[in-house]
Structures are given as C-alpha cells and as structure tokens.
Structure 1
Amino acid sequence: MLFNCPQGAFDLIRLPLRPNELLQPFDAADEYLLTHLAEQGLPKAGSRVLIVNDSFGALAVALSDYRPDAVSDSFLSHRATEINLEKNGKTRDSTRLLHSLEPLQGSYDLVLIKIPKTLGLLEHQLISLHGHLQPDAQVILAGMVKMLPGSVWQLAERLLGPTTTALARKKAKLIFAKPIPRDDPPPNPYPVRYRLENTGFRIVNHANVFSRDSLDIGTRFFLRHLPEGLGRSEIVDLGCGNGVVGLIAARRNPEAVLHFIDESYMAVASAKENFEAAFGTERKATFQAGDGLKAFASESADLILCNPPFHQQYLQGDQIAVGMFRDAKRVLRRDGELWVIGNRHLNYHAVLDRLFGGCSGVAANPKFVIHKTRKRR
C-alpha cells in the first residue's frame, strides 16, 4: 500500500499478511508526525533519532536516511519494518531494531513515540529515556485523538517535563515534551509481581503483559480445566502472555516439554522468568517471540493451548485468532489437540468446525467457553 509523506512515497505492508488487505500499515498520526518534521526541518543533519512503537515501519522507512534506532515490543512490528525497508530499497542496517527490554545506547537528539495502547508500556519507555537524552533533545508523542486518555499528558509531564500540543489534524494529535534533566530519575515500577492463587508460584509481569497485576478471569477459568496425564508430550502455549497457562500445564504434565510463543518480547521474557522460577533451568522448555507458529515444524506438537487476542493494538477482530488456528492445524501431530478459550460472543467454534471438521466443548460459564478440536487422521 502506498504511503505518501513529505519524505517520499513508500510501498508498505502490514503483518500478519492477509489476502486483499484493506487496512493501512500507517495512520494519520504517522502522516502528521512526518509532516511536522518536514515543516520544522527535522531531523537536523547528524542527529541521533529514536523511534518508539512504530507500528509497521512507516516512520523507520521514511527516516531511514538518518539511521534511526527503533524500539518496539512487537515481533510483528520489527519483521514488518525489515520487510518494508527492503521493499523500498533500504538496507536493513539503516535502522537498528531494539526490543523493549534491550537497554538504549548513547544519547538522542530527537525521540518520536507512537503512543501505545498499554500506558504501562509507555511509562516504562519514558522512564527508560532518562540518561539517554541530549540537553536540548526534542521528544514528540503522536497518536489518534480518540485513543488518547488524559493520563498520557500527565504521564509525560511527570516523567519528562512540561508538554504542549499542536492542533489536531485528521483526528491525530502531537504532544511535545520538554525534558528536564533529573539527578533522581523515577524508579521503574515494572515488572510487577503477584502470587498465583492456589499455588506457590510468584508471577512476574513486564509492563506490556495483559492483566499484569492479577490473574484475569478468563485465564482463571482455563486453568481449572487444563488436561493432565499426557506423558512425554510436546505442549505449546500459543500467545503465552506471562506463561501461566503453560506453567500449570507443565505442573500437571511433569514429563511434557513446554514451548512458549508470543509476539510480545515482554510477554516471552515474563513467561521465561516465571517458568524458570517454578521449575529451574533443567526442565525442558523453549521461549520465543514470533509470528504465531510460523517458526514451528509441521506435525511437531501434541497439544496447543491458546487464549487468543482479539485485538492488534486498537484494531479488534478475529483475524489474529484465525491465523493462530490455521497454524495450529499444521503444527499438530495426527490426533493432536487444540484447546481454545474465548468470550462466548467470539464464536470460535464456527471457525474451528470449518478448519478441523468439528470441535467440542470442554467447559463453559456465562462469559467464557473452552473448545477443543482434534487433528483428524
């Protein structure tokens, strides 16, 4: 899809790839931010530029001549950025990709932040900037007006310094922060920890993990019904979040090998810390950030457990879940099972029926349904 901005015209894709994609890999906040930079003659030659939460690489591609660093918690964002750089004749090393838990290096003159859905992630990122800003650094936050709670301004002022805003354009907003050097930067409250109910496990959650302060009600229901007695099986916690589902599956199936996969780097880090705290490093398990099960070999898993997300940032829908279910069908061994929990209104049973030729209910309550389906011979 063509992205026109003052820096040029760029052919961009978004991930996950879907046929006949109608959704844009950029938004009006990207356009507004790049237009503002062009109007102000920014970045200046020789500036060190940091881009934070670039959705699919629109900012990185447009500003690649400045060799920016780009921080994201999303594997899909990084992969899309790599693809889009290549599609537009840019070398991959024109942008240095950093995941959300990697330390920043050096100091920046210009920081561009797309405001994420999870304000805890934004808080972590703003705190991480301390010690990495030049004295006259400019920090610009961008987002769509309808997605910006008032706490964004409060957070930026508390952690950076005074803010001003520009008039909205195409329902997008820019926030300008003037960083104030501090000898006592605020402590980072992340990761947070809580004790998992009915267990002795102490759960670690990094800033971008869903329901990071306590066990969410859907997962609580899922945990009560996980299978046991599976012997030496290969179990995948797909879209693992903090890894609690895989953790309890591992406890119920002590001979099983667990695999944790999520597109969030913070989620995978949380899952790894939680699993190793519970079982040490001797228990066999793998942890990876990725695009669903794309990196898994066909017919390599006996059981896949999935509590799929029904949103990608602010976009809601079942497209991510459907992709996960398709991946699961390929990766399951014959007679392997996929177990899925979802809100009743999501009607996952219809998709599973179509893909697998049938599914059955494991358990249900007024809000959630657990389905299981088998890969038939």
Structure 2
Amino acid sequence: MDTYNFEDNSFSFKRYPETTNRSLRAWSAADEYLIKKLFEDDPDTGNVHIGIYNDRFGFLSCLLKKFEPTVVTERKSQQRSVIQNLEANRIDLKLIKFMDPLECPVQNFDRVLLNIPKSMDLFELYLHQIHSNLTDNGTVLCGFMTKYFTPQMLNIAETYFENVEQSLALKKSRVLVLKGKKESVNRSLVHRLNYDFGRKTQSVVQQNYGVFSADHIDYATQFLIDNLQVKESENKVLDLACGNGVIAMAVQLQKPEAEIYLTDDSFLAIESAKLNIDGPGVHYFWNDRLDDIPKDSLDLVVTNPPFHFGFETNIEVTIRLFNEAADKLKKTGRFVCVANQHLNYKTHLEKIFKVSVLAQNDKFIVYECGFEGSGP
C-alpha cells in the first residue's frame, strides 16, 4: 500500500492485480503532473465536468473526487482497481460515473485528463471520442513519461486540435495541452485484417483501434491456429484472452456446433470479437477473471495469453489465468497455450498440468496440457 498527500488529505493506493514487484507504484510522475497542471493552468476550476481516461489504478479518480468525474475504463481490471482504491479511501462510489471508451457521456467534458497509453491506436481512439464529447472551449491534458515519447503523439493530437503545446519536463514526465477542437474528423477506427484459415476459408477479421496487433493477426496466434485440432469430444471451448476472437473463429470453423466462450480484460477486444464471431452457442465476457465460467465445465481452453500490460512486462497475471483455467476445465479437459520461446511458461504450467509440446519453431512454442491420467 502506497500513500500520497494531496490538499491536506492522505490517500492510500494499492495495485490491482497485486504484484510482488515492490518497485511498482499505483501511480506515476505523469499522474502527479496532470494534477499539478490542471490546477496550475486553471486554479479556479469551479463547476466543471471532468473526464478521466486511462487512470489505471484510480489515482486521478480519487484525487479529483470533488468534481464527480466521469472515468472511462477500457479494462475490467482497471475498473476493479479504481473501485478498490475508491473504497479504500472511503470515497462514495456514487461520486464517480464509469463509462466505456465507445460510450458518450451524458454531459460534454470541460476538462479531460488522459494518461497516454502505450498503444498509439488506443490514444487515437481516446482522442477521437474526446473530440466528439468536449465542449468548444474544453482543454485536454495528456500525461506521459518522457522516455516513452514518440512524435506520433503530436501527429495524432494535431489531427484533432489546433493548439498542441508540450510542457517542460518534471520528474521525467511531460504534459501535452490540447485546445481548439478542429472540425469534425470523420474516420473509421476499425482495422480490417485479411486472414486465411486454410481449408479454402479466407475471412476479414475486424478489430477496434487499441486492440493488440493492429496491422496483422499476431504471429504467435497464427502459429497456434495452424497447429490446433479440436477433438470430437471437445464441445465446450474457451478462448481465453480472446483479443479480436480469431482463435474462436478457427475453433468454430472446425466445430460449428461447439459452445464457445470468449473472455478478455479489454472492452475493445470483446467488442471486436462480437464483430467477427456470433451464433447461439457463442458467449462473450468482459472480465479479467473467469468468474462467469462454471467450475469443471470446459473441454478445451485455448489461449495466446498477454504478458505485456501497458509499458510493463509481467507474467504474474498470466500465471493466475493458468490456475483459473485449470479450475474451469473438466478432469478430462485440455489446455492449449502458445508462447514466445523466451518465456518460461513450462515451469509454471508443470505446477498445474501434465505438459507436452504440441509444436514449436524458432520463435514460438505451443504447449498441450492436461491432468494426470487424462492425456494429453
């Protein structure tokens, strides 16, 4: 638990999901600079409607509670984290309005605080939505750590705003100040990717800006699909961390009658999957956990699990998902996972499953896992 003093109040913050890395805090210098800049440039904020984007652990939401801000959450884990820290600081949840990134606020924003994400596609999606829901005289403050700066940040900002100013550096962070909305920017923020599933089946896979692997189907995912054969007995299948749903599409092509579950921490990923796969036996869950799946109910879990979370590389969440998936599998069930060769997943998988290698090349490896006495 980390503490932060603001306006004579002490706030406590805890990361969710929890981490064993003690060097990681629940806020950054960029978050601090956003707060400083808000009151420095506009000391008498008065009765303004504030929007908060990409507040990963609730630091901005807690400090700006008196404005009753609208908090835009793209990840379910982010929403849980914000709520966790609001409750820890005894802040009435009714003061905060939550919104997904494709939603429109009831009232346009006067000020927006945005912690710039790693994905420039996601940054553009955020600015596109903000541009549509900002008052004419509104201001957008975009915080980032200087080591992550890219000129593309400025190019995207200048697409939507006349005035783009970059602050001086403070504690290795900076703030972009955006003012003067340009005329409406009409553009589709959905990528369309061509993909050949084999068996003479080609498809266009759609995904919202901000979903992993924007310009092609991720190569590890392709390797998994190329080596995945759904068994006759596998009728209930989970695409874990589904992204745009392309793995579930491959499963459905092999076994149209299968009951398919798709789950992802990313709201935009789930909304993308809905563009690509449907049917009476298809179920979607926006969740960073597997709470929605009954215990001992699945025949097969397939996944290309994430190991990057924003700018951090962290497999702790991945390991938790391995354990949750094991709990949802039948004792005769199978867990199939693709990974980069350099990731040490086998060590962790062997604590849960009996593990074998289904396929590998110089970059990727596909693990096939089951329980003792059941295969793989």
**TM-score, normalised via structure 2 length:** 0.93
CA distance in 2, matches of 1:68, 1:230: 51
Answer with 206-215 or 223-232: which moved more: 223-232
Which amino acid in 2 is paired with 1:330? D
Q: Give yes or no for contact 1:231–1:254 (8 Å, CA) kept in 2.
A: no
Residue 359 of structure 1: which of 337, 355, 369 is its match? Answer: 355
Q: Which one of the candidate residues 316, 337, 357 is aligned to 1:319?
A: 316
Shift of 1:292: 3.1
Q: Name the CA shift for 1:341/1:119 in 2 (closer, same or farther; >3 Å).
A: same
TM-superposition CA deviations, 1:246-289 (whole Å, max 9, x none): 1101221223100000000010011122002xxxx33x011011
Contact 1:231 1:255 in 2 (8 A): no
Q: Is 1:190 paired with 2:186?
A: no
Q: Secondary structure at the match of 1:293?
A: coil
Distance 2:76 2:44 in 1: 26
**Aligned ranges 1:36-115 → 2 under 5 Å:** 36-40=37-41, 42=43, 44-115=45-116
Please state which structure has a larger fraction of its residues in strand.
2
**Residues 144 and 43 (structure 1), Cα distance of their counterparts in 2 relative to 1, 3 Å cut:** farther
Distance 1:65 1:107, change over 3 A: same
The 8 Å contact of residues 74 and 264 in structure 1, kept in 2 or not, is answered as yes
Structure 2 partner of 1:264: 266
The answer to whether the 8 Å contact 1:37/1:43 transfers is no
Letter in 2 for 1:39: E
2:257 and 2:344 map into 1 onto residues whose CA distance is: 33
Q: What is the aligned counterpart of 1:300 among 297, 301, 306?
A: 297
**Is the 8 Å Cα contact of residues 359 and 371 (structure 1) preserved in structure 2?**
yes
User: Do 1:239 and 1:261's aligned partners in 2 also have CA atoms closer than 8 Å?
Assistant: yes
Letter of the 2:2 counterpart? L
Contact 1:231 1:253 in 2 (8 A): no
Name the CA distance, whole Å, in 1 between partners of 2:305 and 2:234.
Answer: 25
d(CA) in 2 for partners of 1:233, 1:250: 11
Q: Is residue 343 of structure 1 aligned with residue 340 of structure 2? A: yes
Matched, 1:374 2:370: yes
Counterpart position of 1:236: 238
**238-247 or 220-229: bigger deviation:** 220-229
1:43, distance to aligned residue in structure 2 (A): 6.5
Taking the aligned partners of 2:86 and 2:232, their CA distance within structure 1 comes to 45
Check whether the contact 1:239–1:292 (CA below 8 A) recurs between aligned residues. no
- The CA deviation at 1:25 is 1.3
Q: After superposition, give the CA deviation of every residue in 1:308-332 in whole Å (9 maximum; x if it has no partner).
A: 1111100002112111111111111
Judge conservation of contact 1:101–1:265 (CA < 8 Å) in 2: no
Amino acid at match of 2:371: K
Q: Is the 8 A contact 2:235 2:258 kept in 1?
A: yes
| Secondary structure at the counterpart of residue 153 of structure 2 | helix
Residues 1:146 and 2:167 aligned together? no
SS of the residue corresponding to residue 297 of structure 1 reads coil
What secondary structure sits across from 1:161 in the alignment? strand
The reply to whether residue 286 of structure 1 matches residue 283 of structure 2 is yes
Establish whether residue 217 from structure 1 lines up as the match of residue 214 from structure 2: no
Shift of residue 179, structure 1, vs aligned partner: 2.2
Deviates more, 1:119-128 or 1:8-17: 8-17
Residue-by-residue CA offset, 1:296-346 (whole Å, 9 max, x unaligned)? 222121111110111110000211211111111111111211111001000
Q: Distance in 2 between matches of 1:375 and 1:99?
A: 38
Provide the identity percentage.
Answer: 28
Q: Cα RMSD over matched residues?
A: 1.8
Cα deviation for residue 230 of structure 1 reads 2.9
SS of 2:342's partner is helix
Query: What is aligned with 1:159?
Result: 160
Amino acid corresponding to residue 191 of structure 1 in structure 2:
V
| 8 Å Cα contact 2:233-2:299 kept in structure 1 | no
Structure 2 contact 334–369 (Cα < 8 Å) conserved: yes
Structure 1 window deviating more from structure 2 (130-139 vs 142-151): it is 130-139
The answer to whether the aligner puts 1:11 opposite 2:8 as a matched pair is no
